[in-house]
């Protein structure tokens, strides 16, 4: 009870929580019900603006935009979860290795991270899509790879500071094995920064998926994805601007929500880190 | 310092070697026969075979790899399959679009973010600070290509002030080219400004609380002098790091915005080249991008010494 | 006994005839033509990419034979040609005093060299088979070229009028990819990669009256909204064919511009793997033909621009037979046929759509929706172009796909059982062989008609529509081609009204 109150005393957390819950609710609802079949073509009602029948209008095939935006939320959430799993899993191992071995291993791994991080995720995604095929799974792979350095750096920095502490030396002297030290002492201590970073990367994943789907490298038609809907809208900017407006708002909404949630988590969990990020 | 440089140089070379092997292998297994893509679906097997041998596609892996690297090292360079001109020429002509676009975007970002960040830090937790932070949150949440589309709808379609995309080329006039880059650069810059504003604010806050700043204040140094003379310079380290990262990403990664505005930049070139299996172009550009990213990172590293004398490279 | 004879005078008359402009053509001016795709090189004899022909064909390069606006064959570098009675010996009279842009003269030796280059060992011509039928090349004098074929080839002249058969100079052909030298009305001046190709009037053109324009620039803008913006801003004069049909719809309402929605040689089809289950069953294919509402496809995909087709033959190509009524839209009939084929409960299949063509992706989405109504569940998979070539076209790893076949007279692909349709019909092969050997027009019309009917009846592929030309231009552009019976954006007779 006390804990929850602590979180909700934070404005960032509260706003972020509300925005995110709306997204999650829309996603869950769409699994059971949407106003229209999100993929059903209706030639008679194409390219409509907002109306009572179609609150967010329709696209060039007459598909209901509201239904598609709702379904798109499911897509974005799945992408966020899986990419974080990929980035976290590999990033933590690399970060620990760099911190643990130091020297040239550290230098190489960190420069490699610079490179992966600096190297455009889009280009990686294009290459992956060309070798395999454009699909949402491959887009997730590309975003996940991009996340590896993010988590690796964070893990390395935190791990370095922990490994330098006295209790580690004490544990070593006490005969605790190296693996034991990492599992028992290092990992638990880096958990909270990882959770905070995770919620922020969740938001970044939604942005990245939108970008890749916009290029046609992510979610495949006819399934709705916010980025793909923006791609469809591109040639209708002057004919039916609504097509480009609502999916964009959906993206901004969701990203804002998860970003604020992450900031709020950080403010509450780790008051020392209360500062801007990135 | 020289030992530091040598270490960095060796890492650079090792990394480029790694990248070259990776890229080459990836493109080697890339499905899609360049000969067939060039000649189209109705070409006869015989013609295909002839073109394949002309392009050296029948050579074994190592021979092709050495051929590629050899051409690069000897300064002879590789030729684009499609355009039949040296890849270096292509890269330079595209950099003339992507480079100015990235710089212009960074200009927007810096001009907006540094003053705004300092302002917010000075007014910490006051309504204006909250407002600035709120807008940066919106900025962080907006996809840059969507902002680009909104700008097209407003500035090009509705108001007709700008063209909806395309690039006239520098020889068509300096200003008309700048004008073509303005909207995309603004879209890119606004999003990056959000990141930088937040960073400037937090970095400044941290520095403003440090002892030497307090000392300077106590000594009676004017507040303006404190902020710009002492604090900002010290706060620049993280800001420069992120700016370097952003610049690298902009040079290499403006692919999406170049697509929205249809700019003939480096990103579009590589996007196209992969689609058309113009492999020499793809390889060279990827290597170039990798080198650019690592070099920018090294430069950023070196700039720390200037901004923060406490940092010394061994 | 039939002779194909075209006199020089007739040719001149055709050229001097300006149906679109009532007033006399004005000389001079600078035309900027936009086309979506940048050509991969500028040598049409080394690459079949349509984007190449659209820039250079009839503008920079010419062949012996040209195609006129009605799809008829007219004199190009040959003033006339004569076919021997048994249909194997073609005698071309070559135009006098023709020079390449680099000053070399064009004569029978050059023509012979070009043909030998196309059919010889180590050729990189995508269609050496067009020339392989030539048994003997004789050049009795500078102006006469005699080609003796091994066998009658009804499409020989057709092929000689294609981009693969344009004439290159013996010196300077090596750089044709980046610095083309031809005999055409325009001389190549500059290629700015990623942006444009420029050419200027060839003052030494063999027809002293042509061209009217001083300069033509081909600008490559693939993005539909950028195309539109450039046209509205006055940066370009013509969009050779518009990338997004919705833009044509929008522009047709604007008084400053005119939209041509003529025919082209291209057919958009839902290619079907005739060896993949369940599409090896003719009834299934026919059921699908009944389940597709072509009008709705054209409306949703092309905003109404485009003509329904019933077979692999464009209405703009001679001997066209209207077979669109063979499988009218009838979902009940489709379900009935599916039940008869043993799929009363429908089935699931995958359609692989090439990512680079938006019409293909759109049509795939619409057709998946239509087929769902009769119980066929189509999963859509977008494939990148290189993958499409590799996996679908070469390895035939697909069930359904969607693509436009742009070449005219390409029905012969159905005679090849190894083509990616994997359609194997002796009946068709026989009919096609008869058509190729047809000694006269009526026989040709009969057999090419039968060819169209056989593949329509077998519902080899989903025959959807013939792609529209969709050219948009400023009102002052006169004499632009309304239909595109060949793959070209020929600016020879185009002029600008002041």
State whether residue B272 sits within 8 Å of chain A by CB: no
The answer to whether the CB atoms of A248 and B293 lie below 8 A apart is: no
Task: Tell me if C487 is assigned to some domain.
Answer: yes
- Overall domain count for chain B: 2
If asked whether residues C84 and C162 sit together in one domain, one would say yes
> What is the C-alpha separation between A20 and C47, in angstroms, rounded?
53
Identify the DSSP state of B277: T
Each residue's pLDDT tens digit, C95-105: 988 999 998 99
Each residue's pLDDT tens digit, B143-195: 989 999 999 888 887 887 887 777 877 877 888 889 889 999 999 999 889 98
If asked whether residues B262 and B303 sit together in one domain, one would say yes
> What is the C-alpha separation between B278 and B37, in angstroms, rounded?
10
Which stretches in chain A have pLDDT values below 50? 1, 273-278
Task: Tell me if B187 is assigned to some domain.
Answer: yes
What does the block give as tokens for A114? Answer: 């610079």
Among the candidates B20, B45, B74, a domain finishes at: B74
Task: Tell me if A195 is assigned to some domain.
Answer: yes
Q: What angle do CA B141, A199, A89 make, to 5 degrees?
A: 125
Task: Tell me if C259 is assigned to some domain.
Answer: yes
The answer to whether the CB atoms of B264 and C389 lie below 8 A apart is: no
CATH, residue C68 = 3.90.76.10
Q: Using 50, 70 and 90 to split pLDDT, how confident is the model at B216? A: confident
If asked whether residues C170 and C73 sit together in one domain, one would say yes
Among the candidates C127, C146, C175, a domain finishes at: C175
Q: Which residue of B has its CA nearest to A16?
A: B137
Work out how many CB contacts closer than 8 A connect B with C: 127
Q: Using 50, 70 and 90 to split pLDDT, how confident is the model at B84? A: confident
> What is the C-alpha separation between B182 and B197, in angstroms, rounded?
21
Each residue's pLDDT tens digit, C392-419: 888 899 999 999 998 888 898 999 999 9
Q: In this model, does residue C435 exceed pLDDT 60? A: yes
Task: Tell me if B143 is assigned to some domain.
Answer: yes
The predicted pLDDT at position C247 comes to: 85
Nearest-CB residue to C47 (from B40, B85, B262):
B40
Domain range for A116 is 78-276
**Cis ω on the peptide bond leading into residue C211 (within 30° of 0)?**
yes
Chain A residues touching chain C at CB-CB below 8 Å: 39-41, 43, 46, 60-61, 129-130, 133-135, 216, 220-222, 234-239
Each residue's pLDDT tens digit, C114-159: 998 888 887 888 888 888 888 888 889 989 999 898 888 888 888 9
Kindly give the interhelix angle for A121-131 and A136-163, rounded to the nearest 10 degrees.
130
Q: Mean of the pLDDT values across residues C55-83?
A: 90
The predicted pLDDT at position C1 comes to: 35
The answer to whether the CB atoms of C230 and B163 lie below 8 A apart is: yes
Q: In this model, does residue C223 exceed pLDDT 80? A: no
- Overall domain count for chain C: 2
Among the candidates C175, C197, C219, a domain finishes at: C175
> Higher pLDDT residue, C279 or B79?
C279
Nearest alpha carbon to residue C165 among C136, C186, C134: C134
The answer to whether the CB atoms of B46 and C391 lie below 8 A apart is: no
The predicted pLDDT at position A98 comes to: 86
Question: Mean pLDDT highest for which of A84-88, B236-240, C250-254?
Answer: A84-88
The answer to whether the CB atoms of B84 and C385 lie below 8 A apart is: no
Give Cα separations from B56 to B35, B51, B74, B165 (angstroms). Answer: 11, 8, 19, 38
Among the candidates C145, C175, C205, a domain finishes at: C175
Among the candidates B74, B105, B129, a domain finishes at: B74
Give the H/E segment covering residue C376: strand C376-383
Touching partners of B (3+ C-beta pairs < 8 Å):
A, C
Nearest alpha carbon to residue B180 among B201, B193, B163: B163
> What is the C-alpha separation between C266 and C285, in angstroms, rounded?
22
Q: Which residue of B has its CA nearest to C384?
A: B275
The sign of the CA dihedral C269, C270, C276, C278 is negative
Q: Mean pLDDT across chain C, nearest whole number?
A: 87
Q: In this model, does residue C5 exceed pLDDT 50? A: no
The answer to whether the CB atoms of A120 and B19 lie below 8 A apart is: no
What does the block give as tokens for C453? Answer: 């009917």
State whether residue B15 sits within 8 Å of chain A by CB: yes
The answer to whether the CB atoms of C128 and B44 lie below 8 A apart is: yes
Q: What angle do CA A62, C301, C368 make, to 5 degrees?
A: 70
Q: Which residues contact A250 (CB under 8 A, 6 or more apart)?
A: A69, A72, A73, A226
Task: Tell me if B82 is assigned to some domain.
Answer: no
Q: Mean of the pLDDT values across residues B33-56?
A: 78
In percent, how much of chain B has pLDDT > 70? 95
Q: Using 50, 70 and 90 to split pLDDT, how confident is the model at C19? A: very low
> Higher pLDDT residue, C36 or C453?
C453
The answer to whether the CB atoms of A235 and C365 lie below 8 A apart is: no
Task: Tell me if A88 is assigned to some domain.
Answer: yes
The predicted pLDDT at position B309 comes to: 61
If asked whether residues B44 and B111 sit together in one domain, one would say no
Q: Mean pLDDT across chain B, nearest whole number?
A: 83
Which range is least confidently modeled, B79-88, B122-131, C5-14, C249-258?
Answer: C5-14
CATH, residue B153 = 1.10.3720.10
Q: Mean of the pLDDT values across residues C285-300?
A: 94
Q: Mean of the pLDDT values across residues B217-239?
A: 74
The answer to whether the CB atoms of A134 and C244 lie below 8 A apart is: no
Task: Work out the minimum CA distance from C229 to partner chain B, whole angstroms.
Answer: 6
If asked whether residues B19 and B40 sit together in one domain, one would say yes
Domain range for C148 is 61-175
Nearest-CB residue to B37 (from C124, C177, C389):
C389
**Cis ω on the peptide bond leading into residue B147 (within 30° of 0)?**
no
Which range is least confidently modeled, A154-163, B224-233, C289-298?
Answer: B224-233
Q: Which of C225, C231, C385 to mutate to test the interface with B (most CBs of B within 10 A)?
A: C225
Query: Which backbone phi and psi does C215 adopt, to 5 degrees?
Result: -150, 140
> What is the C-alpha separation between B7 and B161, in angstroms, rounded?
51
Q: Is C192 helix (H, G, I), strand (E, B) or coil?
A: strand
Q: In this model, does residue B312 exceed pLDDT 60? A: no
The answer to whether the CB atoms of C387 and B261 lie below 8 A apart is: no
Domain range for B43 is 2-74
CB C183 within 8 A of CB C103: no
Q: Mean of the pLDDT values across residues B247-269?
A: 81
Among the candidates B74, B103, B132, a domain finishes at: B74
Work out how many CB contacts closer than 8 A connect A with C: 61
Chain C residues touching chain A at CB-CB below 8 Å: 223-225, 228, 243-244, 246-247, 249-250, 296, 299-300, 355, 361, 364-366, 368-369, 380-384, 386-387
Per-position DSSP letters for C270-324, written without gaps between them: EEE-TTSTTTTSHHHHHHHHHH--HHHHHHHHHTT-SEE-SSS--TTSTT----T
Task: Work out the minimum CA distance from B59 to partner chain A, whole angstroms.
Answer: 21
The answer to whether the CB atoms of A248 and B149 lie below 8 A apart is: yes
**If you compute the radius of gyration of chain C from its CA atoms, what whole number of angstroms results?**
23
């Amino acid at each position: 009870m006390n804990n929850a109150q602590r979180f909700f005393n934070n404005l960032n957390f509260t706003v972020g929580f509300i925005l995110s819950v709306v997204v999650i609710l829309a996603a869950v609802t769409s699994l059971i019900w949407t106003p229209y079949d999100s993929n059903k073509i209706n030639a008679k009602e194409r390219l409509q603006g907002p109306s009572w029948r179609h609150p967010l209008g329709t696209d060039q095939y007459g598909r209901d935009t509201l239904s598609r935006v709702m379904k798109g939320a499911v897509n974005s959430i799945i992408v966020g979860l899986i990419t974080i799993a990929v980035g976290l899993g590999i990033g933590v191992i690399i970060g620990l290795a760099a911190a643990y071995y130091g020297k040239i291993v550290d230098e190489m791994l960190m420069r490699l991270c610079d490179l992966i991080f600096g190297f455009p995720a889009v280009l990686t995604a294009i290459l992956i899509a060309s070798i395999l095929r454009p699909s949402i799974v491959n887009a997730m792979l590309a975003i996940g790879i991009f996340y590896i350095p993010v988590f690796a750096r964070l893990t390395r920095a935190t791990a370095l500071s922990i490994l330098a502490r006295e209790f580690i030396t004490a544990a070593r002297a006490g005969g605790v094995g190296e693996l034991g030290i990492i599992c028992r002492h290092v990992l638990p201590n880096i958990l909270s920064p990882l959770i905070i970073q995770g919620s922020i990367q969740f938001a970044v994943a939604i942005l990245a998926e939108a970008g890749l789907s916009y290029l046609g490298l992510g979610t495949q038609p006819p399934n709705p994805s916010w980025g793909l809907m923006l791609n469809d809208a591109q040639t209708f900017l002057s004919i039916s601007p609504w097509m480009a407006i609502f999916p964009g708002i959906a993206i901004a909404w969701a990203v804002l929500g998860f970003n604020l949630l992450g900031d709020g988590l950080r403010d509450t969990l780790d008051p020392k880190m209360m500062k801007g990020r990135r | 310092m020289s030992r530091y440089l040598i270490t960095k140089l060796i890492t650079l070379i090792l990394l480029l070697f790694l990248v070259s092997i990776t890229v080459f292998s990836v493109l080697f297994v890339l499905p899609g026969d360049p000969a067939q893509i060039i000649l189209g679906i109705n070409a006869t097997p015989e013609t295909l075979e002839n073109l394949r041998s002309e392009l050296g596609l029948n050579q074994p892996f190592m021979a092709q790899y050495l051929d590629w690297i050899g051409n690069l090292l000897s300064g002879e360079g590789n030729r684009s399959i499609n355009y039949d001109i040296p890849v270096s020429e292509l890269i330079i002509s595209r950099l003339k679009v992507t480079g100015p676009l990235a710089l212009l975007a960074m200009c927007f970002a810096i001009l907006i973010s540094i003053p705004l960040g300092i302002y917010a830090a000075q007014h910490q937790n006051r309504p204006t600070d909250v407002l600035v932070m709120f807008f940066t949150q919106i900025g962080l949440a907006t996809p840059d290509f969507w902002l680009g589309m909104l700008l097209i709808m407003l500035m090009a379609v509705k108001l007709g002030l700008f063209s909806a995309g395309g690039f006239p080329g520098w020889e068509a006039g300096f200003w008309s080219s700048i004008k073509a880059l303005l909207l995309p650069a603004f879209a890119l810059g606004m999003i990056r400004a959000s990141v930088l504003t937040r960073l400037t604010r937090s970095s400044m806050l941290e520095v403003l609380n440090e002892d030497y700043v307090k000392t300077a204040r106590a000594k009676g140094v004017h507040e303006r002098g404190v902020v710009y003379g002492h604090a900002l310079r010290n706060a620049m380290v993280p800001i420069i790091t992120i700016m370097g990262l952003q610049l690298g990403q902009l040079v290499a990664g403006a692919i999406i915005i170049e697509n929205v505005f249809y700019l003939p930049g480096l990103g579009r070139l590589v996007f196209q080249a992969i689609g058309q299996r113009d492999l020499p172009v793809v390889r060279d550009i990827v290597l170039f991008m990798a080198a650019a990213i690592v070099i920018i990172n090294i430069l950023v590293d070196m700039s720390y010494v200037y901004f923060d004398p406490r940092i010394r490279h061994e | 006994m039939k002779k194909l004879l075209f006199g020089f005078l007739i040719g001149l008359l055709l050229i001097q005839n300006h149906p679109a402009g009532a007033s006399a053509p004005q000389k001079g001016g600078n035309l900027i033509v936009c086309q979506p795709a940048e050509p991969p090189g500028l040598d049409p004899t080394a690459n079949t990419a349509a984007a190449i022909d659209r820039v250079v064909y009839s503008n920079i390069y010419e062949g012996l034979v040209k195609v006129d606006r009605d799809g008829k064959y007219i004199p190009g570098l040959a003033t006339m040609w004569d076919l021997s009675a048994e249909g194997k010996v073609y005698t071309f009279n070559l135009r006098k005093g023709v020079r390449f842009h680099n000053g070399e003269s064009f004569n029978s030796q050059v023509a012979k060299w070009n043909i030998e280059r196309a059919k010889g060992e180590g050729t990189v011509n995508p269609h050496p088979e067009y020339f392989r039928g030539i048994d003997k090349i004789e050049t009795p004098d500078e102006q006469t070229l005699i080609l003796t074929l091994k066998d009658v080839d009804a499409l020989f002249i057709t092929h000689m009028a294609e981009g693969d058969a344009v004439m290159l100079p013996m010196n300077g052909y090596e750089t044709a990819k980046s610095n083309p030298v031809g005999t055409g009305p325009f001389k190549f001046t500059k290629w700015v990669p990623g942006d444009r190709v420029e050419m200027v009037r060839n003052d030494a053109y063999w027809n002293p009256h042509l061209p009217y324009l001083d300069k033509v620039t081909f600008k490559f803008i693939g993005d539909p909204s950028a195309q539109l913006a450039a046209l509205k801003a006055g940066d370009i004069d013509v969009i050779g064919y518009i990338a997004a049909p919705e833009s044509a719809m929008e522009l047709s309402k604007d008084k400053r511009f005119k939209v041509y929605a003529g025919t082209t040689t291209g057919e958009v089809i839902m290619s079907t793997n005739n060896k993949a289950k369940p599409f090896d069953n003719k009834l299934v294919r026919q059921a699908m033909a009944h389940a597709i509402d072509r009008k709705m496809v054209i409306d949703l995909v092309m905003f109404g621009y485009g003509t329904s087709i019933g077979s692999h033959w464009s209405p703009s190509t001679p001997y066209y037979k209207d077979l669109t009524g063979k499988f009218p839209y009838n979902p009940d009939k489709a379900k009935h046929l599916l039940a008869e084929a043993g799929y009363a409960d429908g089935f699931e299949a995958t359609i692989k759509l090439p990512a680079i063509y938006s019409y293909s992706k759109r049509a795939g989405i619409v057709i998946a929706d239509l087929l769902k109504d009769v119980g066929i569940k189509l999963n859509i998979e977008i494939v990148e172009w290189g993958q499409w070539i590799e996996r679908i076209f070469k390895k035939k790893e697909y069930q359904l796909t969607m693509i436009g076949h742009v070449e005219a007279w390409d029905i012969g692909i159905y005679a090849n059982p190894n083509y990616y349709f994997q359609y194997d019909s002796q009946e068709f092969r026989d009919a096609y062989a008869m058509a190729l050997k047809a000694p006269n027009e009526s026989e040709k019309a009969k057999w090419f008609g039968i060819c169209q009917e056989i593949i329509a009846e077998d519902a080899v592929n989903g025959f959807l529509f013939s792609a529209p030309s969709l050219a948009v231009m400023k009102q002052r552009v006169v004499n632009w081609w309304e239909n595109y019976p060949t793959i070209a954006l020929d600016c020879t007779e185009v002029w600008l009204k002041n």
